[in-house]
């Protein structure tokens, strides 16, 4: 009986750890959706980054330090490069299943410091923690 319980526990742990990786979504937060599916913008439109990788949030909290902050423009520049490379990999059917989602990141939209910072660190998480290269020219001085 103990062996069955241990097997069930191990199996459920494997299923929970296997969850979807590489799933990132930037969505408007604080706006309404019309019946035709269009977004009705409000004066104070905010964006939210949704990462469906169960290990990212813990890793991000451990890495986040105001002493290591850069400017919003720094994050925007790198995020644009990362998103371009990510979306290119996602469109390539031979690249495997990790890059399934296309990231909708527009360079002329002000997503704010928080979202740009978190998105930048998601790309660092994928490259450094998961070991999946996205860019060949990575940011210098980013240490984990």
pLDDT in tens, the chain (144 residues): 555 554 455 544 444 444 444 556 566 665 555 545 555 555 567 888 888 888 999 999 998 888 788 999 999 999 999 999 999 998 887 766 677 788 999 989 999 999 999 999 999 999 999 999 999 888 876 766
User: How far is the C-alpha of 136 from the C-alpha of 100, rounded, in Å?
Assistant: 20
User: How far is the C-alpha of 120 from the C-alpha of 73, rounded, in Å?
Assistant: 12
Inter-axis angle of helices 56-63 and 113-124, to 10 degrees? 110
User: How far is the C-alpha of 86 from the C-alpha of 53, rounded, in Å?
Assistant: 16
Whole-structure pTM value: 0.69
Inter-axis angle of helices 113-124 and 72-91, to 10 degrees? 50
* Res 17: pLDDT: 45
Q: Which residues pair with 25 in a beta bridge?
A: 50
Q: Where are the domains of the chain?
A: 21-129
* Res 87: pLDDT: 92
* Res 101: pLDDT: 84
| Angle at alpha carbon of residue 72, lines to 136 and 129, rounded to 5° | 40
Question: 53, 21 in Cβ contact below 8 A?
Answer: yes
* Res 20: pLDDT: 43
* Res 12: pLDDT: 46
């Amino acid at each position: 009986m103990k062996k069955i319980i241990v097997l069930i526990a191990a199996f459920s742990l494997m299923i929970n750890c296997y969850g979807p990786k590489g799933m990132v979504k930037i969505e408007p937060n604080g706006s309404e959706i019309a019946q035709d599916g269009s977004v009705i913008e409000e004066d104070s439109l905010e964006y939210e980054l949704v990462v469906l990788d169960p290990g990212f949030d813990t890793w991000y909290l451990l890495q986040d330090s105001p002493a290591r902050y850069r400017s919003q423009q720094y994050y925007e520049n790198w995020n644009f490069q990362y998103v371009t490379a990510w979306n290119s990999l996602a469109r390539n059917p031979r690249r495997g299943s990790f890059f399934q989602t296309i990231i909708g990141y527009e360079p002329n939209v002000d997503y704010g410091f928080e979202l740009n910072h978190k998105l930048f660190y998601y790309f660092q998480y994928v490259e450094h923690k998961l070991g999946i290269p996205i860019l060949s020219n990575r940011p210098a001085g980013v240490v984990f």
